Structure 1
Amino acid sequence: MNPILNTDSYKYSHFAQYPPQTAAISAYIEARSGGAYDHVLFFGLQMFLKDYLSRRVTREDVEEAADIVTAHGLPFHREGWELLVERHGGAMPVMIEALPEGMVVPTGTPLVQIRNTDPDFFWLPTFLETALLRAVWYPSTVATVSHSVRGMIKASLERTCETPDEVLPFRLHDFGARGATSAEQAGIGGAAHLVSFLGTDTVAGVVYARRFYHEKMAGFSIPAAEHSTMTSWGEERETDAYRNMLVQFGGKGKLVAVVSDSYDLYRAVKKIWGGELRAEVEASGGTLVVRPDSGDAARVPIDTIEMLGEIFGHSVNAKGYKVLNPAVRVIQGDGISPDMIRRLLTGLEDRGWSSENLAFGMGGGLLQKVNRDTLRFAMKANSRQDSEGQWHGIAKDPKTDPGKASKRYRQAVILKNGRPEAVPLKDLNGDVNLMEPVWQDGKLLKDWTFAEIRARATAS
């Protein structure tokens, strides 16, 4: 995309709105307090830096933008954009600092800070707000949702499972690709989920993790049925359809997932999996993952586990919870949200079942049912440098909504009593600033690997 057109319309007039003798503007991004979570997992900036900000502005971009912006009814800063091409070869003369990706911090903590490096481009940092904020809020919000669910599942596994660390990475599976608005959103959100888990059906997510974070393979999946492949056999041959899944994909140590509600889930579990095919399931040496896909999401998966327990048997682990025969497990992929996962985990524990018996597939609740206000993300100017080189703190402080007050002065993030905390950069006093330069004048300064990001996130 033409970088000059990757903004909001009203940004085109802002170059003429700053005070005279302005040499630089600094702005920062944070997830303000009061959103759906009290913490945020920072992730995704590097994708934007490599894919968008690395794209240099050309003379052709300037001409195209001039035509569109003026026809759109707005002033176009041709002189500024032509100077950017001539003086900087089309590279954006800005410095971007950020926390290490994968870091989990309290809301209200600055994540990213930007300022111009050439005084003739004081108007550029806030011109980039639309693209930069969008590049941060979405992947960070998805990553935060996934990380929060990880913590929820981890706590339940630690109460009910003998090997929680082994089981946890595959408990939440990304089913969100088809509900995303674009392939790009699926890639960005899919990679964000994989910071906390290893299970995904969003191929774009593993592609983005490879392309932007050097991860050869970030996530894994298993052979699984869909309704078309089951109903194509006809209801009278439902058993044959299921048997074919075992023949094609079963075997020692293998997992295969089969959607089993095309007609009557309870009949399928009791009469087919637990009757006609029971011996074949047990003899395969692998694990059949039954997928209920309709009905009351808070009840049907637990009913399915209990039916399978009655038929295939179960053991009681050292923590006193029931565990299904290793030949069978359940995954619920319909109606899943963080709240539904909480309800299901509670329901399992209340009925004496270990949460290792159930995996979750989340689609819209993971990649789609989030927005900028989920974590109250905002980018605000915090400092202005005058022509003498002095920085002056600036901020908004609306009396009608104190929750929207922004931070004055250029920011730093320090550890205070082991907890990240924002302080004005001028008050750093020898503390280590956790925000590091990651981009300057068209050059990437930090290139995080997915492994590094995962290590930070999963340690929190």
Structure 2
Amino acid sequence: MQSTQGFSDLASILSNLILNTDSYKASHFLQYPPDASAMFSYIESRGGRYEHTLFFGLQMLLKEYLCRPVTAAMIEQARAFFSAHGEPFNEAGWRYVVEQYGGYLPVRIRAVPEGSLVPTHNVLVTVECDDPQVFWLASYVETMLMRVWYPITVATQSWHLRQTIRAYLLKSSDDLSQLPFKLHDFGARGVSSAESAAIGGAAHLVSFMGSDTVLGVVAANHFYHDSMAAFSVPAAEHSTITSWGRERETDAYRNMIERFGKPGAIVSVVSDSYDLFAALNAWGTELKQAVLDSGGTLVIRPDSGDPCTIVLHTLRALEASFGSQTNSKGRRVLNQVRVIQGDGVNPDSIAAILAAMDEAGFAADNIVFGMGGALLQQINRDTQRFAMKCSAIRLGDAWHEVSKDPVTDHGKRSMKGRLTLLRHRCTGEYRTVTLPIVWDEHTVAGEWDEALATVFDTGRLLVDTSLAEIRGRAYANEV
């Protein structure tokens, strides 16, 4: 039997904060000015697909990585690695952290509250270290903290998709309460790691409450104090249908109704394993009475073909068999049956499908979307052009502004100075300013509040937000 020792060793390495960085960071303590005594860095979205970002996920990173102390064993492990890796290692600096701070990094992190919707080009997080012995820590943690781009980007995309779906519900439906379950997370198998499933899956749940990504639900429950952040329903996959054989396909469908169909229940059945059109005919004829008698809601999943075309065909076939009711918006709602589209789902196809349904007179009630790779994987740091940059350094006793402005790409210009974020009390407008704040005719004292709060300081988590609070902030921004 193959030994699993290698996996336990890897787990130890991954939990070592000193190694959770880029290689070249190990040499940076030797590169700063000799009189440097403190450093200030910040995180922002420099634009991208969306003009506003929904801030989420920092609390997970802080709890998982910075609320755990560096140990002497971690220092030994890192020293051995970097000496063999070709990089200098600041052993004295890390031993200072252990001896003076019990292994907790003496950095102060301020951030906008999670769930806040903030225009791009504004500071979202600041990181400061004012201990002259280890001031470089404010930059050393960049690699780890910069990964907050991922949950922010997932949460941002999901929030904007929520607005797209919400607009069609307002236009075509009498029931806005179904909105939290209109976009289901199908992304667990399409991400690069279990950690991605957990972090990205949790981020989606700021805006929605339907998920098949178990690790995402567990992470949301664990890191954000929720008893159950999302829900799912019994659903067929192709193996549970095709295992009956093509000649017994109808028996497989009937089994789903017998096992899971009951008053108030929802059962989802993929129906394109062989011939979607024949399956729709079977659902509307020999299986129709079983569906009606169950008292539950049957959700048909077509899983191939052009999404717009197939959704409309499926809706029309089901309407011909089960009928529909016309709501107060003049749109038709199917009786006891719905459609879930989980193939080819992305921001563009969701909007196109909803528009086609509306044009055909179908209410948005009739469809639920399942989104996989496009939800959790088809994004990257440049989707919202995230960056973390040093913006100020203290030399001796005096702070100096720091920035970059490449002549070859002014879009990468960074902000300078010790920064904070203000929010207007009446309009909700955000504005990034430098410290100390200079109140003038554009930023009048008494009209603006500090939008950043200190969330972490030297191993102590100072703000521990619940998912319910985060959702409340996010929904307050809906139009």
| Paired amino acid for 1:439 | F
1:150 aligns with 2:162: yes
| Paired amino acid for 1:342 | A
Q: CA deviation at 1:305?
A: 0.7
Q: Which of 9, 13, 21 is the equivalent residue of 1:7? A: 21
Give the TM-score, by structure 2 length: 0.93
1:173 aligns with 2:184: yes
1:107 aligns with 2:120: yes
Q: CA deviation at 1:109?
A: 1.4
Contact 1:98 1:436 in 2 (8 A): yes
1:391 aligns with 2:411: no
* Counterpart position of 1:375: 384
* Counterpart position of 1:290: 300
* Counterpart position of 2:453: 436
Report SS of the residue matched to 1:409. coil
1 CA distance for matches of 2:19 and 2:125?
Answer: 22
Report SS of the residue matched to 2:164. helix
* Counterpart position of 2:34: 20
Report SS of the residue matched to 2:77. helix
Contact 1:94 1:116 in 2 (8 A): yes
Counterparts of 1:213-362 in structure 2, within 5 Å, are 213-270=224-281, 272-325=282-335, 327-362=336-371
Q: CA deviation at 1:428?
A: 5.1
1 CA distance for matches of 2:237 and 2:26?
Answer: 49
Q: CA deviation at 1:296?
A: 1.0
Q: Deviations over 1:341-379 (max 9, x none)?
A: 011011111111111101000000000001000000000
| Paired amino acid for 1:214 | H
Gaps of 5+ in 2: 1-14, 440-444
2 CA distance for matches of 1:58 and 1:360?
Answer: 46
2 CA distance for matches of 1:437 and 1:302?
Answer: 51
Give the TM-score, by structure 1 length: 0.97
1:36 aligns with 2:44: no
2 CA distance for matches of 1:279 and 1:266?
Answer: 19
2 CA distance for matches of 1:64 and 1:170?
Answer: 46
Q: CA deviation at 1:117?
A: 3.7
2 CA distance for matches of 1:132 and 1:356?
Answer: 40
Contact 2:37 2:130 in 1 (8 A): no
Q: CA deviation at 1:386?
A: 2.4
| Paired amino acid for 2:134 | F
Report SS of the residue matched to 1:96. strand
Q: CA deviation at 1:54?
A: 1.4
Q: Which of 414, 420, 423 is the equivalent residue of 2:422? A: 414
Runs (4+) of structure 1 exceeding 4 A deviation are: none
Q: Which of 52, 69, 74 is the equivalent residue of 1:61? A: 74
Q: CA deviation at 1:169?
A: 0.8
| Paired amino acid for 2:449 | V
2 CA distance for matches of 1:114 and 1:207?
Answer: 28
Bigger drift between 291-300 and 443-452 goes to 291-300
Q: CA deviation at 1:242?
A: 0.6
Report SS of the residue matched to 2:307. coil
Contact 1:293 1:333 in 2 (8 A): yes
Report SS of the residue matched to 1:280. helix
Q: CA deviation at 1:261?
A: 0.4
Aligned CA-pair RMSD: 1.0
| Paired amino acid for 1:142 | V
2 CA distance for matches of 1:367 and 1:91?
Answer: 32
| Paired amino acid for 1:450 | L
Report SS of the residue matched to 1:282. helix
| Paired amino acid for 2:175 | T
| Paired amino acid for 1:68 | F
Q: CA deviation at 1:418?
A: 2.1
Bigger drift between 301-310 and 426-435 goes to 426-435
1 CA distance for matches of 2:449 and 2:305?
Answer: 53
Q: Which of 440, 451, 455 is the equivalent residue of 2:468? A: 451
Percent identity of the aligned residues? 54
Gaps of 5+ in 1: none
Contact 1:331 1:359 in 2 (8 A): yes
1 CA distance for matches of 2:38 and 2:429?
Answer: 31
2 CA distance for matches of 1:428 and 1:418?
Answer: 20
Report SS of the residue matched to 1:87. helix
Report SS of the residue matched to 2:126. strand
1:404 aligns with 2:412: yes
| Paired amino acid for 1:386 | L
| Paired amino acid for 1:302 | L
* Counterpart position of 1:198: 209
Q: Deviations over 1:354-411 (max 9, x none)?
A: 11101000000000001000000000011112221x2221111112111111111111
1 CA distance for matches of 2:63 and 2:438?
Answer: 30
Q: Deviations over 1:22-75 (max 9, x none)?
A: 111100001112x11111001000001111111211111111111111111111
Q: CA deviation at 1:21?
A: 1.4
Q: CA deviation at 1:303?
A: 1.1
| Paired amino acid for 1:28 | Y
* Counterpart position of 1:91: 104
Q: CA deviation at 1:298?
A: 2.3
* Counterpart position of 1:159: 171
* Counterpart position of 2:65: 52
1 CA distance for matches of 2:96 and 2:404?
Answer: 31
